[in-house]
Amino acid sequence: MPDPNLTDKGRRQCLAIRAMFPRHHDIDLILASPMKRCIETAVLAFGPVLADSERQLRLHLVPLAQEINNYPTDIGLSRKELEAEMPMLLKGSGISPSQIVFDDVSDGWNSKVTFLNSPQAQVLTFVLDRILGTSI
């Protein structure tokens, strides 16, 4: 099954994280892989932050954070397919599809690469640049 949704257990875990996380007020950036289960995780765990109209935060989809495995469950949908599923993924969250940033999700984002050019290595560099102003 390509790009599956979260399981019921995964949804419960996300809601537990939301309840236990004490610093929602400090969040100023929310990133997620464009995989459906990752979007659902961000929406469930940090939904109140995204739904807060005063904060006006957006969920940025970062293809560099995709799974490195080449199993069907680790291959994401095309951008067009994902955009079509977004209302269902956001249903009941109070989050508008316009709050989802697809800027970096281009055609072919979901193709897999060798380990040395892995999305994980690139996302680490991205995060270090953003947080520390440095890279590896």
| Predicted confidence (pLDDT) per residue in 75-116, tens digit | 899 999 999 999 999 999 999 999 999 999 988 888 776 544
Residue that wins the pLDDT comparison between 56 and 65 = 56
User: What span, in angstroms and rounded, lies between the C-alpha atoms of 112 and 119?
Assistant: 9
Is the residue at 34 inside a domain? yes
- The angle, 0 to 180 degrees and rounded to 10, between the axes of the packed helices 36-51 and 79-90 is 50
Count: domains in the chain: 1
User: What span, in angstroms and rounded, lies between the C-alpha atoms of 95 and 53?
Assistant: 9
Residue that wins the pLDDT comparison between 117 and 56 = 56
Q: Which domain holds residue 43?
A: 8-110
With a pLDDT cut of 70, the percent of the chain lying above it is: 90
Is the residue at 52 inside a domain? yes
Is the residue at 61 inside a domain? yes
User: What span, in angstroms and rounded, lies between the C-alpha atoms of 14 and 40?
Assistant: 9
